[in-house]
Amino acid sequence: MASSAPSFRVWALGGIPEVRAGDDLAKLIAAAEPGLVDGDVLLVTSKIVSKAEGRIVEAADREAAIDAETVRVVARRGPLRIVENRQGLVMAAAGVDASNTPAGTVLLLPEDPDASARAVRDGLRDALGVDVGVVVTDTFGRPWRNGLTDVAIGAAGVRVLDDLRGGTDAHGNPLGATVVATADELAAAGDLVKGKAEGLPVAVVRGLSHVVASDDEPGARELVRSAADDMFRLGTSEAVREAVTLRRTVREFSDEPVDPGAVRRAVAAAVTAPAPHHTTPWRFVLLESAESRTRLLDAMREAWIEDLRRDGKSEESIAKRVRRGDVLRNAPYLVVPCLVMDGSHTYGDERRDTAEREMFVVAAGAGVQNFLVALAGERLGSAWVSSTMFCRPVVREVLSLPSSWDPLGAVAVGHAVGVARERAVREAEAFLTVR
């Protein structure tokens, strides 16, 4: 006899009264005679968890409450903000809810949704003698997709992720990246019967006992992707601001190789900078081989030493100054940005010709700044060092560059070692003059 196809049942639980601060949710659910059995999964809307935990706060201004719950702004469009909140969740308005709560108040998410789920699970075990999984749910929008869905923000006794990596599919193909967000799928299923406006804050799933686990199972926090693994961590204009903030001068690099594609993407960003007369005054020389970097830096060092000796510097002073250039020698990748004056105008007037060149220099600097910020967005460290500007003929000769290319320093690129020191705060007002 053939076995039946897998199936489960989900239904909303009626009889839950209006929840108030201090209520014991497990007792309220047990009093509704849910008919729970071992292996069931209980889906509890976060709103009633927050109410029971007294997460209602006075807030005449919801925006101020959102500010207080926000750790990081990811994206903003008009009044809408997508933020990372104190629970580590990235969502609209930090999860601050002004609906179904008295005027002048707002409802915050549970402070620790996993702990809230554990409390309900333990309470139901004590009250009804059943071993069930508990998922605390909330409603999320999603990037790239219209519409809302419920997801798990807290869990207890549930395998929130089903890691299928290392197995095979029905055709024997290896599964290398398949990790199923089981708790989110349960939350979405429950929302189909709870609804958004039906006053049914709890649902039960039966028939999926294999997802119910021990108390040692990690909670829904496991579903939150770490910053290091999040390819879409940055939002829109906030991405630019954060990349600018991330752009720091790095003096020490690891041996980890640099992705040449990342550097080329940074160059593509660099050449979007503004320039005079619709020109393109930037060129970027990429030194991807160790041989090319060593050859250039050795020639530059010799030229620098000669200059310092002509200046009367002692050998000790010269050695100390040369060591300062080690940031370039220790980097796994070097870029030499160059200025070209193609398309510039010649006026035959020294004042105007000088201004013309300055316009091109400013545009080239804007391109280099774009480049550095884009590298930061690629999670690459950099240091823009001016040394090639002091020996341009040497650089042009070693790199076989046209005589019209003027090197504008060199950019060391690589993966930073350690954490950069905090940058001193610079208040914008100190740099403003208003007329």
Query: Among the listed ranges 14-18, 98-102, 221-225, 336-340, which one has the minimum average pLDDT value?
Result: 98-102
SS3 168: strand
Give backbone dihedrals phi and psi of 82, rounded to 5 degrees, phi first.
Answer: -100, 120
The pLDDT tens digits for 101-147 are 888 889 999 999 999 999 999 999 999 999 999 999 999 998 889 99
Burial of 72: CB neighbours in 10 Å, binned 0-12, 13-18, 19+: middle
- Return the closest-CA partner of residue 259 out of 362, 344, 418, 377: 377
Angstrom distance (rounded) from CA 109 to CA 94: 8
pLDDT at 282 over 50: yes
- Strand pairing report for 90-92 and 80-85: antiparallel
Tell me the pLDDT band of 237, cut-offs 50, 70 and 90: low
Angstrom distance (rounded) from CA 428 to CA 426: 6
Angstrom distance (rounded) from CA 95 to CA 141: 11
Query: Among the listed ranges 190-194, 283-287, 312-316, 396-400, which one has the minimum average pLDDT value?
Result: 312-316
Tell me the pLDDT band of 229, cut-offs 50, 70 and 90: confident
Residues forming beta bridges with residue 155, ordered by sequence position: 135
Angstrom distance (rounded) from CA 2 to CA 14: 36
Is 237-431 in the same CATH topology as 9-55+109-229? no
The pLDDT tens digits for 288-305 are 999 999 999 999 888 888
* C-beta of residue 21 within 8 angstroms of C-beta of residue 54: yes
pLDDT at 1: 44
Instruction: For residue 253, give the DSSP letter.
Output: B
The CATH number for 9-55+109-229, chosen from 3.40.50.620, 3.30.420.40, 3.55.40.10, 3.30.1330.100, is 3.30.1330.100
SS3 107: strand
Residues forming beta bridges with residue 80, ordered by sequence position: 77
- Strand pairing report for 41-45 and 9-12: unpaired
* C-beta of residue 219 within 8 angstroms of C-beta of residue 156: yes
Give backbone dihedrals phi and psi of 24, rounded to 5 degrees, phi first.
Answer: -95, 105
Mean pLDDT of all residues in 28-40: 95
pLDDT at 236 over 70: no
Q: How many C-beta atoms lie closer than 10 Å to residue 320's C-beta?
A: 11
The CATH number for 237-431, chosen from 3.30.465.10, 3.40.50.980, 3.40.109.10, 3.40.50.300, is 3.40.109.10
CA distances 247 to 84, 315, 323, Å, are: 21, 35, 24
Tell me the pLDDT band of 342, cut-offs 50, 70 and 90: very high
- Return the closest-CA partner of residue 157 out of 113, 114, 109, 191: 114
Give backbone dihedrals phi and psi of 333, rounded to 5 degrees, phi first.
Answer: -155, 135
Angstrom distance (rounded) from CA 324 to CA 383: 12
Residues forming beta bridges with residue 378, ordered by sequence position: none
SS3 99: coil
Give per-residue burial for 356-378: e unless 16+ CB within 10 Å, then b.
beebbeebbbbbbebbbbbbbbb
Angstrom distance (rounded) from CA 46 to CA 26: 14
Angstrom distance (rounded) from CA 240 to CA 247: 11
Query: Per-domain residue ranges for the chain?
Result: 9-55+109-229, 237-431
pTM metric for this prediction: 0.64
Counting every residue written for the chain, the total comes to 435
pLDDT at 39: 96
Give backbone dihedrals phi and psi of 228, rounded to 5 degrees, phi first.
Answer: -65, -30
CA-CA-CA-CA dihedral for 142, 148, 153, 157, to nearest 10:
-110
